[in-house]
């Protein structure tokens, strides 16, 4: 059928945004909120396509953006999350409040990739570039990589797209450190029919969906991010609410021997 262009290219500006354009976009979104990107440019008096406006807002103008250099903790978190999720920059960004997928993607390509390569680690597979193709028994059965990051820069415990709430009730926890342990293990696979409809195939809060249903066979890979405890992969209900699980069913031919 042929894809329709996202906008009338002949009548739109391209390239760098001017301050005036930024101000128009900010002013419009302040009044009307985000969304309806298709109609936003004309409504806001901008000669841009909606896509361009959305990108500009998300990557540059949003008030909750952090800006500035990445911290060592963010570095480590990005590497761990990339190991789990691959190039799913939006998912990774969802776990880094104030950072955008574009920013993380750029940072990965310009800094972290090089850093990993210099350490002899393949940035795609997260394995040593020389040899070491086979996993040890502990690696096969569960990889446990604890790292510690300040709570403020760590994963969210709510479903608000990964952004931390600044609830005053959490103030006493402000200085508490998060033990961001990532672990992987193999679990019996529950058939899709039995999955709760709300459970995302990528990430979900385990506390919201305790594993009480039966398993019917097969294997699935479970990864979790959480505070201290490591029971997420035991197949038992998880009492700790600050735990994230990433389920990825093994593809055909990926079974264990």
Residue 51 interacts with DNA (CB under 7 A): yes or no: yes
Residue 54 interacts with DNA (CB under 7 A): yes or no: yes
DSSP H helices in the chain: 19-32, 40-44, 50-56, 72-85, 89-94, 101-107, 113-118, 137-141
Count of residues touching DNA (by CB under 7 A): 37
For residue 93 the two structure tokens come to: 């960004």
List the one residue from 14, 19, 30, 193 that touches DNA (CB under 7 A): 14
* Phi, psi of 162, deg, nearest 5: 85, -5
CA–CA gap between residue 80 and residue 126 (Å, rounded): 9
List the one residue from 8, 10, 15, 252 that touches DNA (CB under 7 A): 15
Whether the Cβ atoms of residue 158 and residue 165 lie closer than 8 Å to each other: yes
List the one residue from 26, 38, 75, 143 that touches DNA (CB under 7 A): 38
**Of 92 and 178, which has the nearer Cβ to DNA?**
92
Helix (H/G/I), strand (E/B), else coil: 175: coil
In angstroms, give the least distance from the CB of 198 to DNA.
Answer: 13
For 102-132, give the DSSP string: HHHHHHIIIIIHHHHHHTTB-TTT-SBSSS-
List the one residue from 1, 31, 133, 137 that touches DNA (CB under 7 A): 1
Burial class (CB in 10 A: 0-12, 13-18, 19+), 230: middle
Residue 35 interacts with DNA (CB under 7 A): yes or no: yes
Residue 50 interacts with DNA (CB under 7 A): yes or no: yes
Residue 195 interacts with DNA (CB under 7 A): yes or no: no
Residue 163 interacts with DNA (CB under 7 A): yes or no: no
Contact residues: DNA, CB under 7 A: 1, 3-4, 6, 9, 13-17, 35-38, 48, 50-52, 54-56, 59-60, 87-91, 101-103, 105-107, 109-111
């Amino acid at each position: 059928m042929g894809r329709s262009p996202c906008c009338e290219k002949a009548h739109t500006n391209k390239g760098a945004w001017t301050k005036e354009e930024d101000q128009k976009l900010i002013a419009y979104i302040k009044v009307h909120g985000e969304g309806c990107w298709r109609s936003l440019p004309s409504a806001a008096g901008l000669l841009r396509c909606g896509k361009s406006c959305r990108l500009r807002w998300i990557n540059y103008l949003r008030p909750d953006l952090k800006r500035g250099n990445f911290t060592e903790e963010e570095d480590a978190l990005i590497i761990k999350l990339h190991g789990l999720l691959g190039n799913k920059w939006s998912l990774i960004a969802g776990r880094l409040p104030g950072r955008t997928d574009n920013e993380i993607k750029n940072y990965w390509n310009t800094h972290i990739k090089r850093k990993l390569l210099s350490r002899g680690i393949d940035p795609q597979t997260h394995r040593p570039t020389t040899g070491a193709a086979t996993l040890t028994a502990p690696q096969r059965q569960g990889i446990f990589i604890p790292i510690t990051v300040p709570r403020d820069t760590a994963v969210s415990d709510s479903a608000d797209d990964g952004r931390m709430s600044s609830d005053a009730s959490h103030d006493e926890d402000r200085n508490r450190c998060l033990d961001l342990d990532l672990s992987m293990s193999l679990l019996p696979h529950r058939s899709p029919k039995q999955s709760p409809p709300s459970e995302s195939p990528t990430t979900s809060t385990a506390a919201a969906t305790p594993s009480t249903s039966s398993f019917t066979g097969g294997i699935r890979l479970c990864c979790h991010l959480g505070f201290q405890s490591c029971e997420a992969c035991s197949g038992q209900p998880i009492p700790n609410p600050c735990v994230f699980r990433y389920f990825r069913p093994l593809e055909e031919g990926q079974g264990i021997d």
